[in-house]
Every structure is written in C-alpha cells, then in structure tokens.
C-alpha cells in the first residue's frame, strides 16, 4: 500500500483547498459581506465533500474485498485524519465568525441577535412573524425510545429539544425525567434570516432558528422547555447506477436521484454543548455510528449566509467591476466577420459573456445557418443558450445537443432542459455509459455560396451565463480549419459514428490526450538533457493523476523548470530533494473562482499553449470526453503569457503549495502589492478598451 513515489492524499489536499477559502473569510482586505460569503462557500463545499467523498470512503469500510489491498491508504485511518482536520477548520471557522465577523457587523450597526437577546418590543414582532409565517410549517414530534424515531432529511436543519412535563406539584421532583422532541426548521420554505424593525439607525437580524426557539413555549404548551440544540444529517449523494452499460441510463439516473435524498448517513453534525445523555439518545434513535458524529456549533448550514441581509449598503461588498468589451471584435459588423478575420479569445468574468449569447441568438435566426451542435454539462437555470437552440430548431435548423446527465448535482436541471429541447425537435444525445462528456465545444455550420463554412467556439468553462459572472474561464472563437474539422470529428464520435482518423491538433480524452501530454513532457525533458532551456507551466483546478505526477517528477529530475498554478487538489509534492526540486506550485483563491486550464510548453523557444476543459485527474484523462485546444494566433499567445505572468507574480492572494500544504502566503519583500485578478482586469481593459 505504498506508492513508488511520494504524493499527497487527494482528500486531505482538498481540505487544504477549503482551508484557503476560510483564509479569505479571515482576510480583512476583503469587504465584510464578501468574507461572510466565503464562510458560506466553505460550508457549502464541506457539505458536498461529505456527501460525495467521505460517503465513498465510508462505503469502503463495508468491503471485504482483495481490491482494498490495492489502495494507497487505509480508509479508517484516512477518515480519522479527515475528522481531525475538519475539527480544526471548524474551530478556525468559529473563531473568524465570533471574533471578527460579529464585531465588525456591530461596528456597522448590524446586530445578529439570538433568542436570549430579544427585548419585549422585538418579542412582539417575533411572535407576530411566527404566527403569520412559520407556524404552518411546524410539525413537532415527541421522540420515544425504541418506538418513534423519524427519518432525518438530507441537510435539513432540526432542533433537538429537551423537555419536562409541567406539574401542579409545588415540590420539585427528586429525579428529573426528560423527554425529547424534534422539530424541523423550515429554512427550505422561509428565509434563514429575518430583519427586525430598525431602531435609531441600528439594524437587528435574527436566525429563523432563534425565532422558533423563542416561540417553543407556544409550540410545546404542555411542557417546560429545558434547552434546544441544532442538528443536521448529511447523506450520501452518490447515485450508484450499478450497471451503466445495459438498459436505459436516463431512467436509471432518474431513479438514482429519487434515492439520493435517502442515502446512508455521511455526517451527523450536532451542537457541541448538547448533554452526553441526549446525544447518546439521538445516536441510538437514528442508528448512527461513532464515525458519523461531528461536533459543531449552535448553528449549522452556514451556506445560508449567501443570503445574509445587508441593510446598510454596497460599501460592505466588492466594488463592481464593469464587464469589458472586446475592442477587436467590436470593430467588425458581426461575429462571423470577426471570426473570419482571425481567432478571438474572451476571458470571463472580466469580458462580456454576451458575445457568446449574441452569437448563438444570431445563429438561431440566420437563414444561412444549417447546423448547430453543442455540448451541455451544467445548464443555467434560465439558459439563454438553450432558448436560442430551441428557436433555431423552430426555425428549421438541424440542432444536435449532447447533454451530460451525470453532471453531479445538475442531473435534474440537465434532464429537464433536455426534455424541453426534445419537445422542440432538437436531436438530444445523452450520457455515455461509464464516461462523462466534459468537453465545452460548439459548432455552427453556414452555407455560403453553396459551400459549408464552420464556426467554432471552444471553452474551458460551461455554456452557463450565471457561472460566467464568477468563474474565471477562457473562450475561443475560431474558423481555423485545423481546429474546426477536428471539433466536427468530436461530434461525430458523440453521435456514435466511428472516428478512424487521428486527432492532430485537438487533444481529446479517449483518443490522444494522455499520450500527447506525455510526449510534450518528454519533449521538454529532451531539451533539458541537452542543456537547452526547458519549461512547463500548468494552470488547472486539480492535479491528482499519478501517471502525470510521475512524469512531472521525471521532468523535474531532468532539469525542466515547472510552475504549477492549481486552485484545488494538488497531490504532487513540490520542492522535494531528488524528486521535485525544480517544481514550484501556487494557489490563488480570490474574488473569482479560478476555473480555466492552461498548459504551456516552451518547446525550444517555439511556445506551445493549450487551453482545456480537463484537469490532470484520472477521471478527466481516462473516464471523460475532454478537449484541449491549441492556441495558434501569436497575439492571443502573447496575451495568455502575460496573464499567466500576472498570476505567478500575485503576492496578496497567492499561497505556496508545500509538502505540508500549510497554505502560507506568497509575499514579496518589497515593492507593489499585486492582486492577480484585479491586475488581469486592468490589463484586459488596457488592451481592449
């Protein structure tokens, strides 16, 4: 169970990434309400981690298979490490919230109060609010040992309440007999935070939880309320489609979605102050194991802080960054003319996603457009892209859309949109068995003077106007036949046709991607061994694939200079003697989510740059259809190299990835502070106006 070379554990590396998110919540250079949002992001990330990754580890504990011997870790030990790491992070989280966020809110005349802080005037408002809005959603339940133990819904909030019977006797009983009750907090129906009436310029906000706590005597009129504690259960989110290779995969996914809400426990989170006999009762009532139990605070589901009210103004949030135009594209009458003159690169969220939206809208109406083909991985809730595709089909165009229905947590949305598109006559293709289609590509074919002309859009991110506002991604518009002809071949493959010709320009997972990356690294090794300059720069979300890490170690030992910008998981260990001495790795977590993937190889001075939807994870390189596309335009190459240089020079939100993944900030001893995302914005503003 020992690797032939050192790597960092995937799950612990992911937790290190989530720690970087917490650092942003702690960073007073960020506005107050943005720091609150980073707490929400951390909480949301952690819930998903337990629903997916920890649940999968827990499933391993039940296996008694020889395949467990192939693992490079002991599941039980790893779960303990996760438990310990999460506990430390939760303490850090609580300290940020109590000692920094709450005092700063008060400095801005915003008070987050609890039920014990409520004065009589506020109490009247709360009672009225409870009667008008909450009581209809309340269904209290007395718990009886071995008889009544309700099913806990996934990620829903509950109050576990300790009660005593009211008695007319004047003398207190010699022995207090507690009763226990459960009550779901209806945060799925009502806002988690309620703004109380303003008083003398002071603003008061209360948790929905605490409104219910305040009104518990009105709910349990026959009992004395002793105390109440927040609990929640996170359940396994894996769909467990047992056999993707037979039967109707769509039907299996739909059935799996129904089972997701009833998955086995992955984490039971409870208020640390709950008495031991009470938590023991709950553990037995809900049939939980010791490894299910995680200590928490008075409040759970901090992802609700995305909607924390701001009653005082926008100065507590990030200043707006007006989305930029693309000067060169704007100099042409339409996108077709712009693309026919040269390739064009957009960098979201700094530049307008409208260029793509308008391109698709125009294609839907343009009589010369005969064919549209698009992949869809995560579809926006009110997708303008899909609406354009439907209009195109209604206008008689041949529209084909590949919809990946296994995109985790977007399955229902994707299935729903696919059904809408099918109604409009769009040819909808669904997931491949055993493989996810993650490539972000579109092909539009126009008939001009009897000839078909191809126009392509390739991206590192989704066709999703919502995420384009917060994810940092690249999108390329091109009519270069070297690329467009191979994009069409990818669609042939997705349509079930046999693709015999090799890809010479695109790197496509399932065909040539892994081998081509191997050969590109080997090429740099050859240059290094000759004593020539050799350099690799990788910008990605995650670096986990063992084979690729091994090749990077080999390249480092040969003298290749390697720089890695990785947002999330990094299993490679940089700077290790006789292993990775020539590798430096950094991670930027900031205002926007760094989502773009870029692969640079110096190639003896003839720079090669690929942009891609693919990370270097085993799943991307082996179990997905991905596409990496080359940048041939010298002006775009120069822009990309400038942007990468800006990212490397960041000395404010850049962390050094080391062998302990301790997330120390990269700092320059003297000189100007460089915040890459803002510098990139100013750079694009300068060159594109």
**Catalytic site positions:** 438
Distance in angstroms (rounded) separating the CA atoms of residues 665 and 535:
24
Dihedral (Cα; 656, 658, 660, 661), 10-degree rounding: 40
- Distance from CA of residue 560 to its chain's centroid? 32
Mention every residue, 6+ apart, whose C-beta is less than 8 A from residue 500: none
- State the angle between helix axes of 32-49 and 75-96 in degrees (0 to 180), rounded to the nearest 10: 160
Q: Is 395 helix (H, G, I), strand (E, B) or coil?
A: coil
Distance in angstroms (rounded) separating the CA atoms of residues 665 and 138:
47
Distance in angstroms (rounded) separating the CA atoms of residues 312 and 310:
6
Mention every residue, 6+ apart, whose C-beta is less than 8 A from residue 427: 398, 399, 400, 401
Distance in angstroms (rounded) separating the CA atoms of residues 367 and 335:
15
Angle 400-405-410 from CA coordinates, rounded to 5° = 120
Distance in angstroms (rounded) separating the CA atoms of residues 295 and 280:
13
Give the burial string for 535-553 (b: 16+ CB within 10 Å, else e): bbbbbbbbbbbeebbebbb
Beta bridge mates, 183: 159
DSSP string computed for 255-297: HHHHHHTTPPEEEEEEETTS-HHHHHHHHHHTT--GGGEEEE-
Distance in angstroms (rounded) separating the CA atoms of residues 193 and 643:
40
Distance in angstroms (rounded) separating the CA atoms of residues 222 and 329:
72
Distance in angstroms (rounded) separating the CA atoms of residues 681 and 592:
11
Sign of the CA dihedral 6, 7, 12, 17? positive
DSSP E strands in 297-334: the ranges are none
Alpha helices by DSSP H, 314-383: 327-330, 335-341, 354-365
Dihedral (Cα; 364, 368, 370, 373), 10-degree rounding: -50
Residue 511 contacts residue 372 (beta carbons within 8 Å): no
Farthest CA pair distance, the chain: 100
Distance in angstroms (rounded) separating the CA atoms of residues 220 and 166:
10
Beta bridge mates, 594: 472
Other C-beta atoms within 10 Å of 221: how many?
Answer: 8
Closest by Cα among 335, 378, 375 to 357 = 335
Closest by Cα among 628, 632, 585 to 608 = 632
DSSP element (H, E) containing 588: strand 583-588
Distance in angstroms (rounded) separating the CA atoms of residues 192 and 209:
8
Distance in angstroms (rounded) separating the CA atoms of residues 339 and 360:
14
Distance in angstroms (rounded) separating the CA atoms of residues 514 and 73:
25
Beta bridge mates, 509: none
């Amino acid at each position: 169970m020992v690797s032939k070379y050192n790597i960092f554990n995937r799950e612990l590396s992911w937790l290190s990434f989530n720690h970087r998110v917490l650092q942003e919540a702690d960073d007073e250079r960020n506005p107050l309400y943005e720091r609150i949002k980073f707490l929400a992001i951390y909480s949301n990330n952690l819930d998903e981690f337990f629903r997916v990754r920890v649940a999968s580890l827990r499933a391993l504990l039940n296996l008694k298979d020889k395949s467990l011997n192939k693992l490079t870790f002991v599941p039980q030990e790893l779960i303990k490490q996760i438990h310990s790491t999460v506990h430390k992070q939760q303490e850090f989280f609580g300290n940020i919230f109590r000692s920094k966020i709450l005092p700063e809110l008060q400095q801005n005349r915003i008070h987050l109060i609890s039920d014990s802080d409520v004065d009589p005037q506020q109490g009247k408002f709360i009672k009225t609010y409870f009667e008008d809005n909450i009581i209809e959603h309340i269904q209290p339940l007395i718990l009886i040992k071995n008889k009544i133990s309700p099913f806990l819904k996934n990620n829903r909030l509950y109050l576990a309440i300790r009660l005593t019977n009211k008695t007319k006797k004047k003398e207190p009983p010699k022995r207090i007999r507690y009763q226990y009750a459960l009550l779901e907090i209806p945060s799925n129906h009502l806002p988690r935070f309620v703004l109380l009436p303003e008083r003398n310029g002071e603003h008061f906000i209360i948790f929905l939880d605490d409104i219910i706590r305040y009104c518990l005597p009105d709910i349990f009129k026959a009992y004395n309320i002793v105390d109440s504690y927040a609990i929640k259960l996170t359940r396994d989110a894996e769909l467990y489609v047992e056999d993707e290779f037979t039967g109707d995969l769509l039907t299996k996914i739909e059935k799996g979605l129904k089972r997701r809400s009833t998955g086995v426990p992955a984490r039971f989170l409870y208020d640390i102050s709950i008495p031991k006999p009470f938590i023991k009762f709950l553990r037995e009532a809900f049939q939980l194991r010791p490894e299910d139990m995680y200590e928490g605070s008075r409040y759970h589901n901090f992802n609700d802080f995305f909607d924390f009210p701001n009653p005082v103004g926008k100065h507590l949030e990030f200043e707006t960054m007006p989305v930029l135009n693309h000067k060169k594209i704007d100099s042409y009458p339409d996108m077709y003319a712009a693309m026919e003159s040269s390739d064009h690169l957009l960098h979201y969220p700094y530049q307008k996603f409208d260029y793509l939206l308008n391109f698709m809208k125009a294609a839907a109406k343009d009589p010369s457009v005969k064919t549209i083909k698009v992949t869809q991985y995560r579809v926006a809730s009110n997708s303008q892209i899909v609406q354009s595709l439907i209009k195109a089909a209604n206008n008689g165009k041949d529209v084909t859309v590949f919809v990946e229905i296994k995109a985790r947590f977007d399955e229902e949305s994707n299935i729903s949109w696919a059904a809408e598109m099918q109604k409009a006559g769009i040819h909808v293709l669904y997931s491949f068995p055993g493989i996810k289609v993650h490539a972000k590509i579109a092909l539009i074919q126009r008939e001009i003077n009897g000839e078909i002309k191809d126009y392509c859009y390739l991206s590192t991110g989704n066709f999703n106007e919502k995420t384009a506002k917060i994810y940092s991604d690249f999108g390329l518009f091109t009519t270069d036949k070297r690329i467009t002809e191979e994009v069409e071949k990818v669609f042939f493959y997705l349509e079930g046709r046999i693709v015999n010709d090799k890809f010479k320009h695109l790197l496509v997972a399932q065909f040539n991607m892994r081998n081509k990356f191997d050969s590109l690294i080997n090429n740099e090794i050859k240059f290094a061994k000759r004593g020539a300059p050799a350099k690799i720069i990788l910008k990605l979300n995650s670096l986990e694939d063992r084979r690729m890490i091994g090749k990077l170690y080999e390249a480092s030992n040969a003298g290749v200079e390697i720089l890695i910008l990785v947002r999330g998981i990094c299993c490679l260990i940089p700077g290790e003697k006789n292993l990775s001495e020539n590798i430096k790795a950094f991670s930027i977590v900031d205002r926007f989510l760094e989502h773009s993937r870029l692969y640079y190889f110096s190639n003896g001075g003839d720079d090669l740059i690929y942009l891609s939807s693919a990370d270097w994870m085993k799943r991307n390189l082996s179990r997905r259809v991905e596409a990496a596309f080359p940048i041939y335009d010298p002006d775009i190459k120069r822009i990309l190299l400038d942007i990468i240089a800006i990212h490397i020079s960041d000395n404010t939100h850049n962390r050094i990835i080391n062998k302990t993944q301790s997330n120390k900030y990269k700092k320059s001893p003297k000189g100007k502070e460089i915040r890459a995302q803002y510098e990139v914005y100013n750079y694009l503003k300068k060159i594109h106006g």
